Amino acid sequence: MSAVATRPSDAQLTEFRHRVRAHIAEHAPPFAAREGRRAPENAEQEAHLRKWFATLFDAGFVGADWPVEHGGRADHHPLHDRILSEEILRARAPRPVDQVNLAAHVLLHFGSADQKAALLPPMRRSEHVWCQLFSEPDAGSDIAAVRSRAAQQRDGSWVIDGQKTWITDGHWADMGLALIRTDPTSSRHHGLSVFAVPLSTAGVEVRPIRTINEAIEVNEIFLDGVTVPARNLIGEAGQGWSIIMAGLDFERFGIGGNVVLLELLIDDLVLVARNGILDGTGALEHDDIRQAVAELGVEVEVAKSFIDDHVERLVAGDERPGDGSIAKLSFGETYHRVSAYGAELAATVCTVTADPSVEQAKQRLRECWLWSRAYTVSGGSSEIMRNILAKRRLLLPSR
């Protein structure tokens, strides 16, 4: 990505925040974001989302960290990304698709000049929504175990066969970033390669998976004799593991950076608790409820403190191994605990207020809880994150 500019002053950051808020107020879609229901549910919503994401690129808010020659901004600073994420979340506006950011990161670091010229502009126009074709039925968080294969033909093209599963946004994505085994004699981290796969290619079949909250967020994707040209190989053949690991480190911090979602969860939890009646008394008058809410509030502050500290070290060039995994682990586990308790409390207490915001908070807590396990799995499960930290941060032996 582009070099880090001089740290903006507090006044400049405040001015940037005001510009972001004004942009959201003017351009955000006419529907609120919902956890576990981030994909469009119809053609009208999809059109709104694509237009919304394009405006964020056009305004220099998303993709600002790209090199200037590819649309980035010379004055970009990581704190701008933090502010943008915070304001989008607090406005409950739809977030940009994570997989687009990961694909851009991979292309900018490993793509050829021709690939950047062909694939980056459609991202910025939101003509190309990307998904990740990593996980498989027997290779979820352990993506080194992928079995989908590609064989190179005499003309240099590749024919891909295999199955991918739990593919977020696959049913409306245009492009897939695919991790495929290109050396049939290899195993584990070796012999893997990365391809850009247009999902309109013959042989690609997408089968949506309906989640527990009756939404379609993830999909199975079958690749049956899918032929892609040689130019769709990103980096060198066999370089796939290092490419994907670099991309996932970027994604994992992005997930952790959504810590504002935890603050919004706490706000909903407190709203329900303050308006809840249990056994004839206010919910917060019960010691156990008050204690639980307070403890969860502390957990949220701990997660937020790590993110704040990490951003400061990132700016100072002092990023440490495993920081992205810590952010991802902290966010995912805390999100699950807060939403699980919130959903339980919402189902337990009686609310008599006529304020519709209380019922909306209850609904959000239920939806967040139903979606919460996805955060402890997607982008690498919590167990994988702990293994990464053991090896990279604590330098513990594998055996």
Instruction: Give yes or no: residues 92 and 219 share one domain.
Output: no
Instruction: Give yes or no: residues 193 and 300 share one domain.
Output: no
| Per-residue pLDDT band at 47 (split at 50, 70, 90) | very high
Q: In CATH, what number is assigned to the domain containing residue 221?
A: 2.40.110.10
| Per-residue pLDDT band at 257 (split at 50, 70, 90) | low
DSSP of 15-49: HHHHHHHHHHHHHS-SS---TT--S-SSHHHHHHH
Q: What is the pLDDT of residues 333-374, one digit of tens each?
A: 999 999 999 999 999 998 877 789 999 999 999 999 999 998
Supply the pLDDT for residue 190: 92
Cβ 69 vs Cβ 77: under 8 Å:
no
The answer to whether position 121 is within a domain reads no
Q: Taking the alpha carbons of 164, 168, 170, 171 in that order, is the dihedral positive or negative?
A: positive
Instruction: Give yes or no: residues 196 and 138 share one domain.
Output: yes
> Which of the residues 251, 319, 333, 383 is marked catalytic?
251
Supply the pLDDT for residue 321: 84
Instruction: Give yes or no: residues 382 and 282 share one domain.
Output: yes
pLDDT mean over 94-100? 91
Angle CA 118–123–124, to nearest 5: 110
Note the Cα 318 to chain centre separation in Å: 24
Instruction: Give yes or no: residues 60 and 170 share one domain.
Output: no
Cβ 349 vs Cβ 277: under 8 Å:
yes
Instruction: Give yes or no: residues 198 and 138 share one domain.
Output: yes
The answer to whether position 43 is within a domain reads yes
Backbone angles phi, psi at 267, to 5 degrees: -60, -45
pLDDT mean over 250-277? 82
Q: In CATH, what number is assigned to the domain containing residue 260?
A: 1.20.140.10
The rounded distance, in Å, linking the Cα atoms of 178 and 136 is: 11
98 by DSSP, 3-state: which? Answer: helix
Structural domain range at position 220: 130-240
Count: domains in the chain: 3
Cα Rg for the chain, rounded, in angstroms?
Answer: 22
For residue 119 the two structure tokens come to 């694939």
Supply the pLDDT for residue 251: 58
Supply the pLDDT for residue 1: 54
For residue 204 the two structure tokens come to 């690609």
| Per-residue pLDDT band at 397 (split at 50, 70, 90) | confident
Question: Quick check: 254 pLDDT over 70?
Answer: no
Q: What is the pLDDT of residues 4-34, one digit of tens each?
A: 578 899 999 999 999 999 999 999 999 999 9
Instruction: Give yes or no: residues 295 and 233 share one domain.
Output: no
Residue that wins the pLDDT comparison between 177 and 248? 177
| Per-residue pLDDT band at 73 (split at 50, 70, 90) | very high
| Per-residue pLDDT band at 253 (split at 50, 70, 90) | low
Instruction: Give yes or no: residues 307 and 378 share one domain.
Output: yes
Supply the pLDDT for residue 248: 66
Q: Out of 205, 240, 275, pick the residue that ends a domain.
A: 240
pLDDT mean over 165-182? 96
Cβ 150 vs Cβ 195: under 8 Å:
yes
Q: Percent of the chain at pLDDT above 70?
A: 95
The rounded distance, in Å, linking the Cα atoms of 62 and 224 is: 35
The answer to whether position 13 is within a domain reads yes
The answer to whether position 230 is within a domain reads yes
| Per-residue pLDDT band at 141 (split at 50, 70, 90) | low
Type of residue at 318? D
| Per-residue pLDDT band at 250 (split at 50, 70, 90) | low
Is 299 annotated as catalytic?
no
The rounded distance, in Å, linking the Cα atoms of 79 and 17 is: 10
Instruction: Give yes or no: residues 339 and 220 share one domain.
Output: no
Q: What is the mean pLDDT of the chain?
A: 91
pLDDT mean over 119-142? 91
| Orientation of helix 78-90 relative to helix 287-315, angle to 10° | 150
